Structure 1
Amino acid sequence: MKYRYLAVSSIHEVLERQRTLRRQWEHMCVTGEIRTFRNEVSSSWSRCLSHKVDPLLKAAPMVLSNLNLQEEKNKHQQWLEIVYPHLDSLFSELENEDILILLSLANGVLIEGRANSTVWKKVEKIHGVPGANYSEGAAGTNAIGTAIAERKPTQILGAEHFCEGWHSWVCSAAPIRDPWTKELIGVLNISGEIDRLQAYGLPLVLQQANRIENELRNMALYYINKYFHDKIDFANNPVVIINKDMCVINMNDVARHTLNLREGLSLNRMLGCSFHNLNDFDCWGQPIEVTCESARQRTCVVTFHPYRMANRLLGGLVVFHPVKASSRSTDLAVASLHMTNIITQNDHMLCLIEKARKAAGSDMNVLLTGETGVGKEVFARFIHEASSRAREPFVAVNCGAIPRDLLASELFGYEPGAFTGAAGKGRPGKFVAADGGTVFLDEIGELPLEAQVYLLRVLEEKAVVPVGGTEPRFVDVRIIAATNRDLEEEVRQGRFRADLFYRLNVLCFRIPPLRDRREDIPLLVRHFLLEFHDSGVPLMIEENSMATLIRYDWPGNIRQLKNVVAQAVFNSEDRCIRIHDLPPELVGPTDKTIGRSSTDKKEHVAWSGYQKRVSRELLEQVLGMTGGNVSQAAKLLGVSRMTVYRKAKQYNLSV
């Protein structure tokens, strides 16, 4: 697309063209006949004449009071919060250029602006301020109003403006569209006086509008993922996410296995229905009985649940109740549900996950070892949820947090009146509460020797005797224990019973510390950024900040990393985590890093390892989030643009 006023040889040429345009405008005012250089301007002038706009108008009509303006801002707050930082950034770049930056709603009403005091004094005369109506029907041909009418980027020079009040201005505007519905939601504009022609105006607003739309897309993806996370990842029934056009954009593993679906398929084709889009539904939340072709002609009961953001329908959740499938497919789906909770690309961790999946198929006792904060409970829950006990209780017990004199009663329960202060009806205890499911004994190494005797008896007899009782109660539980201690050394020191150790140590998994799998740090950081940032837009992180996180030794492992990311999110002021947002112990001279002589080398190895491991699936997801913007994808992944291009070529992805 060619824009006539982006390249000019001199300001003299522009002023000469302005004189010609002025004559054409005067001719139009006298005769009603339109003669202009450009078709867009001719069409706009024609519309203005039909709207009976006064060509001698000196200022746009003010249509919103301060109170009403604030109400409009509150109404559109969700996307305006995305745009404001872009206005500030643009203004800081051009602050010395005497320019005016304006943002309008889809109806042409100005909602926000940026300018220095000199420019504000000038534009107040033409009401180039929030609350004014700059639609073509109100203010004639202008960049904002004409961009709305033409639905495309527009630049209006001098006397191309239909109304005389703007003849000394050159304005460039670009529409901002909803990234999902493609509906116009606003217009970004840059204006300046004609003798200070901004050749950069149109490409600059185009660039910023694209960035805003990409960030809006990221925000929508974040909210959709956050809104549906529990429903789609942990549902036992097939669950499918569709967009406004009824296309499948995501699903849980149950749906993937039992319905034989894939992203991009039409839900109409799957259900054999003729709904054109979600607006056709007048039965949201109501069950519909359909025959599902992809489920081998099985009859399914389906419910549809809408998802809206800023009063715009983006898509919906489709739940199938129930879909019968082979038990093998269902088992595979259930076993996959919690895999995403273990975020890793480390080969050893991936091997552990496969072994944990295998362990889920048995009832053997499991011992998880590793430093504090490595994620032992996550592994325990993974094994439980992937097992045949997934629908039964998972009861976690921190053996180190229960007072010694209460351990027996907490674990095994007690009879009424068993001791002073006991509940009148007694209490069943953790093992009875977990009957049929899994008991997770965290910090098992903290268990006193006298309590170890009782636990050993439970393991041997599959029964518990409550404190103050005499009759055993049989329980069916699977035991998963975890410790950060070396239990073999504890046995040698007489602090842990050897027979209990051998009972627990049937299947043993040692979870490595974070410093031994540094390539996982970028993945974990980005996961936590999405989790913690409460304004709905994922934060960015500078590459040197990410390198600092990779370099650090993390004695508290993933738990410490999560806390550091939370602190950095709190400290960040511009949606980008920088070095000064990190805690001082990470970047100061006394930080506990790996050996100084090999720091740079190991950091490079870890970073390079992460870059090599950027998978096709991850790259596709991030490119989708950024609308194909390579620079933003590189920032999100924490790699260079060249790495994104190279990986895209390797995976045959178009960028």
Structure 2
Amino acid sequence: MMPKEFQISHKGQPRAEEGYLVMDWMLEPEKLTIDTPIHLAVEKMLRARHPNRDIIVTDHDGQYLGLLSPITLIKWLQLGGKLEERLSPDILIEGKVLNLYDAITEIPLGDVEVFPVVDNSGKVQGRLSSNALLLAYQQLLDEKNAVADAWDIVLETAYEGIVMVNSQGKIIRINEAYKNFLGVKEEDVLYKPVETIIDNTRLHITVKTGTPERGKLQVIQGQNMVVHRLPIWRNNKIVGAIGMLIFEGVSDIYRILEQVNEAKRVPHSLQEGSVHPTLDQPKVTFEAIKSKSHELAYCKSLARRSARTSATVLITGESGTGKEMFAQAIHHLSQQNKGAFVAVNCAAIPEGLLESELFGYEEGAFTGAKKGGRKGRFEQAGGGTIFLDEIGDMPLFMQAKILRVLQEKEIQPVGSEQTRTFSGRVIAATHVDLEEKVKKGEFREDLYYRLNVIHLQIPPLRERKQDIPVLLSHFIQHFCSLYHLPYKTFSNTAIEVLMNYDWPGNIREVMNLVESLVTLVDSEDIQQTDLPPKVMKKAFFHEGDVQMPIEKQQEQVALASLPYPLKKNQLAHEWQEIQNVIQACNGNKSEAARRLGIHRTTLYQKINRIKKVIKNM
């Protein structure tokens, strides 16, 4: 008689995706027919691979009747049952019956060893073992993890920024791009009200209203952004909302529109001035400052906030860290972006010419003065931004005049008795320690404090190694495109060396090195052997978390500088030596590491490194 648990409700239609049906995982049935002599059933059990498993019993038409359990059979024999008797329904147990089209995910894991599998007519078609069920669950879990990993990648790359809030409007997830844009760490924002983290957000309102908002403008850190805000529904209830940052700046939209409409422009349109004025000259925006590190993300966040006002900004950092790029990005994001950006290198102008260069001069102010006089850099930057680079090298007498500009917002050209109003913004930069110069009397203390209203410290590249691959990729694309060369890539070993180099010239040195390699290396793959000797000699090599001794570093540098055949032979010799020791230890790598005089972890790292180097040769 059909067990009550077996009910056909799907009428032969699959209830799960293909690959997750019972029929995809079932095995051939181990079954007996009713009326089979008991002694034959016992023999079948003893011959079975798993004699403790239940055996499926059917009628003569193949209809499922029940399971013959070894334990039930033993108890039946103990109560006086005879081996000569035949199987009958009263010895059987019902068991949990599955249909061919049942979903694997709906079957509970438990102590059941065998599940009979039947078709819609009740005929036995197979069996599902507990092991097969476990394998199915494992595969499903692996696939779900793979999907989750892929989804994470999409979330990290599909938009400039993504943030998700729960039903209370608190942040439960934020991607790397958004964290970098805001200059925050994940632990500082998770489960915090979104309105306390993101300027002018409406996500907490989206959660309450359930109304999606697409393509809306939002001012974040003083910059106009384009965003989507979408509620998340589940079971007719709002459980959260997701915010997507589509463009990091509205200027990006203008740039895209310009590219789309480029082909449609007619020659006279340029004469009529139809091009958007902000697109006529190249801009350096925060999007152009390539980085991945939290350190630079924080700097960009602070710089964006500084663009809200016209307060003076002091940018400090080593030479080549990109101080002028930050100054230009602040200018183009500020209210002064309609005016000019005027850069002055105070260290490059002779002391005798610096005053007239900065403040201009009147006609006849000195011998050789231009007729009609000349505007100085401050006046040229009126309504815009003047960038005073290397201000730490400015002579003391000029520091007093700069102080007056900052205090009174006035400039006085050389040879003139009249002052003129300065309506622009001052951004200064230096690679020297101004506080130390103040102590030595080489820099005015009052000017230092006037400049240091907003202090932006750009960390050197050696303190933000995460940015090195980003910069390498950016510059290699730039120079390959500039020189119309096939796109080149760095090998893993080359990148490893470049990551361990300290880059004293910072980003400027990266740019120069990449330009040189793109020009001089014929192969499309830039190898470790293509790198300059100075990079190889100054790169730090590590084994695990311990820096190699100097002799080991020299060995690595010498190996890298060997000609191709010699290098390959040396690596092959070392590899053969390691293999011999492992073989002598019968494959025991711990013992092999002991004989080689190194830690087991170091041995594994050495094996992987040699394999990788030989592969890239």
Q: TM-score, normalised by structure 2?
A: 0.43
CA radius of gyration, larger in:
2
